[in-house]
A and B are shown apart, each in its own frame.
Chain A
Amino acid sequence: MIGQILIHVLFGLSVGSAISYWMAWFKNDETYTKVGRTLFATLAFGLFLSASMLIINIIQHRFEYTYVYSYSSRELPLHLLIATFYSGQEGSFLLWTLLVSLIGVVLTPYARRHGYETAAMSMYALILCFLTLLLVAKNPFAYYYESFAAQGMTLADVPLNGKGLNPLLHNAWITIHPPILFTGFAAMSVSFAFAMAGLLKRDYHKWITIALPWTLFATAILGFGIMLGGFWAYETLGWGGFWGWDPVENSSLIPWLVTVALVHTMLVQKRTHGLVKTNMALAISAFVMVLYSTFLTRSGVLGDTSVHSFVDPGKFAFWILLAFMLTFTVFGATMVLRRRSDMNINREDFDPKTREFMLSIGASLVMASAIFVTVGTSWPVIMEIIGQPKVAVAIDFYNNVHRILVPAILIVNALSLFMQWRHTNGKDFNRHLAISGGAAVVLTLLSVVAGIRDLANIALVASAWFAFVTNAQLGWSFVRKSPAMAGAYISHLGIALLVFGVIASSTYSEQHHAVLVENVPTKVGDYTLTYTGKEQVELHFKDREKFRYHVRIQSASSDETVSAVLYWSDFNQRQSAFLEPGIRWGLSNDLYVTPAATDEEDVFLKRTVMRGGTTVNPFDSAQTLTLERFTMPMEEGTSPEGLMQMAAVINVPGQTEPVKALTRISMGAGAPSFEPVWATLPGSTIAVGLMNITRNNDDPTKSTGVLGFRDMSKPVPTPRQVFTVDFSVKPLISLVWFGVITMVLGFAFSIVRYSRLIKDQRTFSGRQPAPVAAGQAIEPQPTDTNADQA
């Protein structure tokens, strides 16, 4: 009960904080600011408290709470118990709200130092009003008996165990990926709050400097979170890829793309005081896209169009999500429109031979990518609105669009680096272009010799080499001066590496389907695979028998063993298997073993035959047998063990009496299992047994059976285990991970750099106060002309 009350109190605190800050803004009264600040701090503490309570409820297995019952169980180890905190909608909303509030705690003094507290925090507290209202609607402290009152549950009904965590989530990545992703989402609120504060204050330049490190942080952390999601999918889900253009993936990518564009246009404004309205629009769009993506993936509107399951959050939460998104979209758009004439200060047309021009084009291309991904992700909703079948666009839509956009972005990136702010010296530009362009052409030709053939891939590789060489060449010169200035170049190098990895792994992967009989080496491509046996793991889980299957992979130069996992679980009523691939990680390639099926070796010769059909005795090709009919269970009665029996009545040439091959049928959890009773064919040692019957309900005469044959004079060999796998060799996939890590590292360098610059500017402002009137803020400009990329 305390938890439920606390959530309502938190909503009250957020409303109180927002009202106080807004009053402070309108009345310009410091007293209201202090109240707002105090209420905000209390709200953050309250959210921390409620998060702690939820964690304690989960760890103590308090199944009287619906959330704890729905997502955790007694068998889960501690790290997975903690992860259940954000495995459901209620918990993930709480995590998001908590992170927004914690960032707000750091943001408050920062904004105060820059004279932005009242304006920025009034927006920020408003965001928390909606988030806490969502918690009221999706309360993680709802009781089991309340949630299941319709089923007749009372206060006394407390489940002994929870439903448990989806087995797909049972790995270490769940403890890392969601918190990082939500930190990225939460950090996206900051640039929005500063942009809106800038609009409120009619201060259209200073917010850029203040918000830039936060925007870089949001971009870096969200990018890292997205990469971790891809890595998780690759390492755990076993479909062999790291990106599937699924709505859940796209919902993180869209705001990230917008914020990448924003970072670059912020740099243009910082340097030229241009793109004022663009930056306002992009800062608002980045946050609105977080809300839109949340709406798409949490409102249930995309149900049935994704591999991820989307739970309908209920009508109240649906409308809050919609109102959340629309409020900030309308508020932001209205503010931009109302201030648009104000923002026309310093309006100038950029010369095409300048860095600001190329950066603007680059940002537009990134935004084009965001628009295409948004349209593609929203397609099912668009179709539903116009009354058409709700269907997602094919993955090729995204791939083909980006085959054009990515090379364009990479080329523009390289060209922008050759150019200077305001004016570019034609000679320098041509010299740089000749060196980098020449090197890129040579490296592309080498790539073609190495095996890249497809025209689209050649274009991608050429542009990636161009960007790589340019960033390496110019970046190196800055590393020697000051490593902090190399952030942009490091990030761009990371992107180029990522593109190399994507091309190599997606286009040039080798794939094989292999049936591995236990301890029998099987040649698969250039490798020899041997299934060496299995071991049961995680014995404490009663809903599954989870096995690790060991596969030895040998080649001329290596000999290693990987372990893949395949099991069925009661969690999904054993409707589909859960699997984890076995991966041999490598710098030049990964060897990827995806389990497909396990079975026992067939020790009998089998033939499928239809009623009235014939089959040849596999031991005697001169003998043709005819399946006269199948007998019914009532005709055969039950076996001594009480099992149902059926039989295949088989006519043997030269015999007047047919042979009856019985089978005993036991009904398991899934399909029935058949145990043949062997019937010897007259005059031989060969016996026939009925191994399976597939009944055709519409037309019983078309029912089929599988007959097994064996030589009774020989013992039946012990069947060996058969492990069927999909084996793939993925060249240079390591570049994908290295690329993203390098990109994030570059962002870290830039965050340090711009934070230092702000400090320097504050020192500068302390000595000689800078005017803050619209468009007149004076900022010290860095002396280098090439370093002002993110």
Chain B
Amino acid sequence: MLRRIIIIAVIVLVPIAFYVASQYGELDDVTFTQASRTEATMEGDQAPKVIIVSSITQLSDAEMFCEDREGTRFKVDYTGSAPETPFAAGQVVRFVGHVHGGATGYFHATQVYAK
């Protein structure tokens, strides 16, 4: 009986663990305005991590500017590892990171994925 209980529990538990984790381990896909709003109202030190689907509009050695799906232009400071495909103007990517507030708010991205 014990053996049966444990085998069934393991068979059921592991997929449940993965399913439950997936419910708590998803990032919100937002716009820069939405991310900024969350940053302004949050209690912690750092704004929550989010995904912004971004179109790179301006790229130089020093700065990168993107547009989100609403057309809002924002600065991106990317500090993650080198992307598989080098950044290029016009490219659409998913940036993962968080907003830094202030009058000249920007998006601090630490990961980048193809759209």
Interfacial residues, chain A to chain B (CB-CB below 8 A)? 304, 349-350, 352, 357, 360-361, 364, 368, 371-372, 375-376, 379, 383, 387-394, 396-397, 401, 576, 694-698, 704
Contact = CB atoms under 8 A, between A and B. Distances in A.
B91 interface: no
A280 to B, nearest CB: 15
Contacts of A364: 5-6, 9
A393 B9 contact: no
A394 B24 CA distance: 5
A404 to B, nearest CB: 11
26 contacts: A304-B111, A349-B1, A349-B3, A350-B2, A352-B1, A357-B2, A361-B2, A364-B5, A371-B13, A372-B20, A376-B25, A379-B21, A379-B25, A387-B113, A388-B113, A389-B94, A389-B96, A391-B27, A391-B49, A393-B21, A394-B24, A394-B25, A397-B23, A397-B24, A397-B25, A695-B103
A364 B14 CA distance: 13
Contacts of B73: 698
B26 interface: yes
Interface of B (DSSP majority class): mixed
Interface string B1-44: 11101100100011001101101111100000000000000000
A580 to B, nearest CB: 16
Contacts of A383: 25
B21 A397 contact: yes
Contacts of A372: 17, 20-21
Contacts of B94: 389
A393 B26 CA distance: 8
Nearest to A354: B2
Nearest to B103: A694
Contacts of A397: 20-21, 23-25
B73 to A, nearest CB: 8
A390 B111 contact: yes
Contacts of B104: 696-697
A368 B111 contact: no
B13 A349 contact: no
B17 A389 contact: no
Contact of A389 (B1, B23, B27, B45): B27
Nearest to B13: A368
A372 to B, nearest CB: 5
B87 to A, nearest CB: 17
Contacts of A376: 21, 24-25
Given A361-B5, A372-B17, A393 B24 contact: yes
A389 B28 CA distance: 11
A304 B2 contact: no
Contact of A349 (B2, B17, B80): B2
Given A304-B111, A349-B2, A357-B2, 5 more contacts: A379-B25, A389-B94, A401-B20, A698-B73, A704-B103
B25 A393 contact: yes
A394 B113 CA distance: 21
B47 interface: no
B51 interface: yes
A391 B17 contact: no
A389 B104 CA distance: 26
Contacts of B13: 368, 371
A383 B18 CA distance: 11
B49 A360 contact: no
A368 B14 CA distance: 9
Nearest to B112: A389
Q: Top 7 A-B pairs ranked by shortest CB distance?
A: A397-B24, A393-B25, A393-B24, A375-B17, A394-B24, A389-B96, A694-B103
Centre residue among B13, B21, B110 by max chain A CB count within 10 A: B21
B46 to A, nearest CB: 9
Contacts of A695: 103
Centre residue among B1, B6, B17, B27 by max chain A CB count within 10 A: B17
A349 B6 CA distance: 12
A704 B51 CA distance: 30
A371 B19 CA distance: 13
Interface in B51-66: 51
Nearest to B65: A698
A360 B5 CA distance: 10
Interface string B94-115: 1010000001100000110100
Contacts of A349: 1-3
Given A304-B80, A357-B2, A376-B21, A391 B26 contact: yes
A392 B96 CA distance: 12
A663 B23 CA distance: 53
A368 B9 contact: yes
A198 to B, nearest CB: 21
Contact of A375 (B3, B21, B113): B21
B9 to A, nearest CB: 6
A371 B94 CA distance: 31
A387 B111 CA distance: 12
A371 B26 contact: no
A361 B20 CA distance: 22
A360 B6 contact: yes
Centre residue among A357, A391, A396, A698 by max chain B CB count within 10 A: A391
Contacts of A352: 1-2
Contacts of A396: 24
Given A375-B17, A389-B111, A396-B24, A360 B2 contact: yes
Contacts of A694: 103
Contact of B51 (A389, A392, A394, A576): A389
Nearest to A360: B2
B18 A375 contact: yes
A364 B8 CA distance: 12
A393 B49 CA distance: 11
B103 A392 contact: no
A386 B20 CA distance: 17
Contacts of B111: 304, 389-390
Contacts of B3: 349
Given A352-B1, A364-B9, A372-B17, A389 B113 contact: yes
Contacts of B9: 364, 368
B83 to A, nearest CB: 13
Contacts of B96: 389-391
Nearest to A278: B6
A265 B57 CA distance: 61
A704 B104 CA distance: 12
B58 to A, nearest CB: 12
Contacts of B113: 387-389
A280 B4 CA distance: 19
Contacts of B45: 576
Contacts of B24: 376, 393-394, 396-397
Nearest to B23: A397
A371 B12 CA distance: 12
Contacts of A704: 103
Centre residue among B14, B18, B103, B104 by max chain A CB count within 10 A: B103
A696 B103 contact: yes
A268 to B, nearest CB: 10
A357 B3 CA distance: 10
A568 B25 CA distance: 33
Nearest to B44: A239
A372 B80 CA distance: 29
Given A304-B111, A371-B17, A392 B25 contact: yes
B15 to A, nearest CB: 10
Contacts of A391: 25-27, 49, 96
Given A304-B111, A364-B9, A371 B14 contact: yes
Contacts of A368: 9, 13
A397 B23 CA distance: 8
A393 B6 CA distance: 26
B80 to A, nearest CB: 7
